[in-house]
A and B are shown apart, each in its own frame.
Chain A
Amino acid sequence: MIGLIMKDILVMRKLMKSYLLLIVIYIILAYLDFFDYSFIITFVQIILAVMPISAFAYDELAKWDRYAMSLPLGRSKVVGARYLFVLALTLFTVAMGLAGTALLYLAHQVDPLEMFVTLMVSTAIGLLLPTILLPLSYKLGAERARPYLYAIVFIPVIAFVLLVKAEIIDFSALNRLNGLSPTAILGGSTLLPLAGLAGLAVSYLISCRVAAGKEY
Chain B
Amino acid sequence: MTNCIEIKGLSKSYGDFALKNINLTLPGGSILGLIGENGAGKTTTIKCILNLIRRDAGEISLLGYDNVREERLAKQDIGLVLDECFFHDTLRPLDVGKVLAPAYKNWDGDLFQSYLDKFGLPEKKLIKEFSRGMKMKLSLSAALAHRPKLLILDEATAGLDPVVRDEILDEFLGFISDEDHAILMSSHITSDLEKVADYIAYIHRGEVVLSGARDAILDSYGRVGCTAAQLETIDPGDVLRTRKGAFGCEALVANRAAFARKYPMLLVERTTLEDIMLFVGKGEAK
Q: Which A residues are closer than 8 A to B by beta carbons?
A: 1-4, 6-7, 10-14, 58-59, 61-64, 66-67, 69-74, 215-216
Contacts and interface: CB of A to CB of B under 8 A. Distances in A.
Contact of B99 (A4, A14, A63, A74): A4
A62 B86 CA distance: 5
B90 A72 contact: no
B91 A215 contact: no
A66 B52 contact: yes
B98 A10 contact: yes
Interface string B179-193: 000000000000000
B256 to A, nearest CB: 41
A216 B72 contact: no
A46 to B, nearest CB: 21
7 contacts: A6-B98, A10-B99, A59-B88, A66-B82, A66-B86, A70-B75, A72-B74
A67 B80 contact: yes
Given A7-B88, A70-B50, A215-B47, 5 more contacts: A3-B102, A6-B98, A62-B89, A69-B50, A72-B103
Interface in B34-55: 47, 50, 52-54
B95 interface: yes
B95 A10 contact: yes
B89 A3 contact: no
B266 to A, nearest CB: 49
A138 B101 CA distance: 25
Contacts of B101: 3
Contacts, number: 78
A73 B71 CA distance: 9
A58 B98 CA distance: 18
Nearest to A7: B99
Contacts of A72: 71-76, 78, 103-104
A3 B50 contact: no
A64 B104 CA distance: 17
B80 A10 contact: no
A4 B98 CA distance: 9
A46 B241 CA distance: 64
Interface residues of B, number: 29
A65 to B, nearest CB: 9
A7 B94 CA distance: 12
A73 B90 CA distance: 23
B167 interface: no
Contact of B98 (A3, A59, A64, A67): A3
Contact of B53 (A6, A58, A64, A216): A216
A74 B71 CA distance: 8
B54 A215 contact: yes
B257 to A, nearest CB: 44
Nearest to B101: A3
B209 interface: no
Contact of A216 (B47, B89, B99): B47
A136 B54 CA distance: 21
Nearest to B105: A72
Nearest to B92: A10
A62 B104 contact: no
Given A70-B80, A71-B103, A215 B98 contact: no
Contacts of A69: 50, 52
B90 A58 contact: yes
Nearest to A215: B53
Contacts of B71: 72, 74
Nearest to B75: A72
Given A10-B95, A11-B91, A73 B86 contact: no
Contacts of A74: 71-72
B43 to A, nearest CB: 10
B82 A67 contact: yes
Contact of A71 (B53, B75, B87, B98): B75
10 nearest A-B residue pairs (beta carbon): A72-B75, A67-B86, A3-B102, A215-B53, A216-B52, A7-B99, A62-B88, A2-B102, A3-B99, A72-B76
Contact of A10 (B52, B82, B91): B91
A59 B91 CA distance: 12
A111 to B, nearest CB: 42
B91 A73 contact: no
Contacts of A14: 90
B100 interface: yes
A101 B138 CA distance: 46
B84 interface: yes
B87 to A, nearest CB: 7
Contact of B103 (A3, A59, A215): A3
